[in-house]
Amino acid sequence: MVFKESSHAMRDMDIFTGTPERGVSDFDLIQEIITEDGASLPGPPPPPADLLCQPHSQNHRRLRQSSSPPSQAVLVARGTACQPPCTFPQPLKQSCTSREMAHPSRGAASPASSSRRGRGPLSSPASKSSGGVSSQNRGGDTDMLERLLQKPKLVVVEEPKERGMRFRYECEGRSAGSILGTSSTETTKTQPAIEIQGPIDHLKKVTVTASLVTKDLPHRPHPHCLVGKDCPNGSGICVVTLNPHSNRRHSFANLGIQCVRRKELDASLQKRRNQNIDPFQTGHSKGIEDMDMNAVRLCFQCELEWEDGNKDCLSPVVSNPIYDKKATTTSQLKISCLNQYKGSCAGKTEIYMLCDKVQKDDIEIIFRRGSWKASGEFAQTDVHRQIAIVFKTPPYQDQDITEEVDVDVLLRRLSDQMESEPICFTYLPHNPDPYEVKRKRKIKSDISFREKPCVTAETAPAAEQPFLYSQPQTMMSPDERLCAAQPGASALGEMCYSEPQDSNNDDTALINQLLDMPAIWEMISDPGFPLSMPSGFDQGPNANSTFANMDMNFNQNFGSYPQDFSHYSDLQFNMLVHENQTPQSEAQDSPSNMVHVKKEEEL
């Protein structure tokens, strides 16, 4: 078996069940004692008792086959995993039973310690409260379990928030922020918190040591550091002592994660070693080269000090993973915008998507509605600098829709199946409502005439200005994009889809572009707006042909341009993006149609 830190397929998955990982399962813990070859573990081997007396590989197989809740073997594993800074009063190596292993300081074989605390043997109600005790447990083990459960335990009652915090370098100075609790909200901030549960009679104090461990198994010490309150300077760990009688719970406020540089990885690990921090006794693990520097877990080690001065410790507990916000491999996916939000139900509409950084080899674009699902089509070379994707829409499931259909579009990361928030995309029917079409043509014709005298841009050869030429069809104003993002909110988006159009008439493209602009739309909607038309211009039967095949021709034109953005310079791309967002800003230095838009607005 190999537990690779950076394994994509395994990320966030329980390796036994294949189910998404939730906190740390008991299976996780058993991992600590079952290693690849059984020999790489330093320190005492697992005791030859009960289930653990079998060869490791057998244990492994046995557990793997079992779909029942964790058995007592797991609990034994918890006990054996307990390691420095806790120290056991008794040596671990002698032939001890699992019971003793689990409860080294007061196992069944140690009546003195039992009576010392004057506790009734098995009757604590608390011992019944924890579930997961299978009836499959063999006789006698129930005793052990109850004893185990009678012992106080450390529980993570508020998990750390998995994402959203950036690991800070030391060079960034400052406090490195603080880890929030998973239930933290804008208004109510929470912190990760632990709680001592179970019986605490005669318990004097509790010392909890928090450190960082690797996300994946085995949980090795992680080179990154915890900084903030209760983290001794330069230690990278956090130590708090609690009086469980006054407060069983402790919240870790102002706990930050300070990342070490890769070149300091070894030194940091060595430091942790010197501090005797290796909660799961993973020893000098090799293969730290591929250590995942973008994810950690908090690990809590707990030492109990009893009134009689004896010390006891609990097996280490780990939190859910915490991911560095800056890492593109794990960060939250986010779609910023599309250049258009509508397209034919036939698919093949070319769309530009701007998004937060993605990994070009680890991302897909999902279209879905109800049970239907399809993927946007693109190659890795269509992902531009990690922040833009040029793709083609998939065809909708139903080619005979008569109404527009809104579907969700979202980004999904292959490796962990994480998804972005969906945005809305509208599939347009092949045959839009004829009445609507006619009505809009009328309006366009009117506008077309009025704008005609101002149009001079057709002199620009389209082939030499691919982006500018195509822009009128593909780009929306920011306002309209906002509108279009809301299902059903766009009054113009469906305009002239599949309407006929004269492909050689640049004016037509301009007109449509003008219609794209809310300002123009408002203007022409104004009852006071003069709409008197000289008769005979662009009206009558020819009006239809004026708009012949606009969309088709656009697609053809556009389709002939390289889709690989890497052929263009950054400047060109930035121009594209920039114009997309602020079309009018380019007006002065561009011979594009935009010039006229501006002029019209100045009227």
Of 98, 178, 320, 505, the one binding DNA (CB under 7 A) is 178
| Cα radius of gyration rounded to whole Å, the chain | 33
Counting every residue, how long is the chain?
603
> Are 152 and 201 within 8 A, CB to CB?
no
How near is the Cβ of 172 to DNA at its closest, in Å?
5
344-383 mask for DNA (x: CB under 7 A)?
Answer: -------------x-xx----------------------x
Backbone φ and ψ of 514, nearest 5°: -60, -40
CA–CA distance from 591 to each of 178, 432, 459, 557, 575 (Å)?
52, 34, 9, 20, 14
Q: Which two tokens stand for residue 478?
A: 């920011």
Q: Which of 97, 111, 112 has the alpha carbon at shortest distance from 144?
A: 97
As a whole number of angstroms, the distance between CA 84 and CA 278 comes to: 7
Region 382-411 residues binding DNA, contact defined as CB under 7 A = 383, 385-386
Nearer to DNA, 56 or 161 (CB): 161
Structure tokens at 366: 């999902």
- The strand ranges marked E within 38-130 are none
- Of residues 137 and 332, the one with the C-beta less far from DNA: 332
Query: In the complex, what is the shortest distance from the CB of residue 566 to DNA, in angstroms, rounded to a whole number?
Result: 5
Nearer to DNA by Cβ, of 316 and 321: the residue is 321
Point out which span in 30-38, 76-84, 163-171, 577-585 binds DNA (CB under 7 A): 163-171
Cα–Cα distance for residue pair 405/354, rounded to 1 Å:
23
Nearer to DNA, 327 or 519 (CB): 327
Q: Tell me the Ramachandran region of residue 23: left when phi exceeds 0, alpha when psi lies from -120 to 50, beta otherwise.
A: left
Pick the binder of DNA from 263, 309, 371, 400 (CB under 7 A). 263
Tokens of 468: 């500018």
356 vs 458 by CB, closer to DNA: 356
Which alpha helices (DSSP H) does 12-102 contain, by range?
26-31, 56-65, 72-81, 98-102
State the pairing for strand pair 295-306/335-338.
Answer: unpaired
Residue 175 in the binding site for DNA (CB under 7 A) = yes
Binding segment for DNA (CB under 7 A), chosen from 26-34, 150-158, 174-182, 474-482, is: 174-182
Applying CB under 7 A, the span of 162-170, 239-247, 272-280, 498-506 interacting with DNA comes to 162-170
Q: Given candidates 329, 349, 490, 505, which one binds DNA under the rule CB under 7 A?
A: 329
Q: Please, which residue, 333 or 428, has the CB nearer to DNA?
A: 333
**In the set 1, 40, 169, 489, which binds DNA (CB under 7 A)?**
169
Q: Which of residues 525-584 bind DNA (CB under 7 A)?
A: 566
Q: Which of 408, 445, 405, 406 is nearest to 543 (CA)?
A: 445
Q: Is 584 left (phi over 0), alpha (psi -120 to 50) or beta?
A: alpha
x/- string (CB under 7 A) for DNA, residues 289-328? ----xx------------------------------x-xx
- Of 311 and 326, the one with the shorter C-beta distance to DNA is 326
From the list 292, 253, 262, 295, the residue with the least C-alpha distance to 167 is 295
DSSP tag of 298: E
Using CB under 7 A, which of the segments 88-96, 152-160, 259-267, 515-523 binds DNA?
259-267
Handedness of CA 481, 484, 485, 489 (dihedral sign): positive
Gap between the terminal Cα atoms of the chain = 74
- Residues 239-258 touching DNA, rule: CB under 7 A, are 254
CB 343 to DNA: min, Å? 26
CB of 235 to DNA, least distance (A): 19
Name the site residues for DNA (rule: CB under 7 A). Answer: 164, 166, 169-172, 174-175, 177-178, 254, 259, 261-263, 293-294, 325, 327-329, 357, 359-360, 383, 385-386, 566
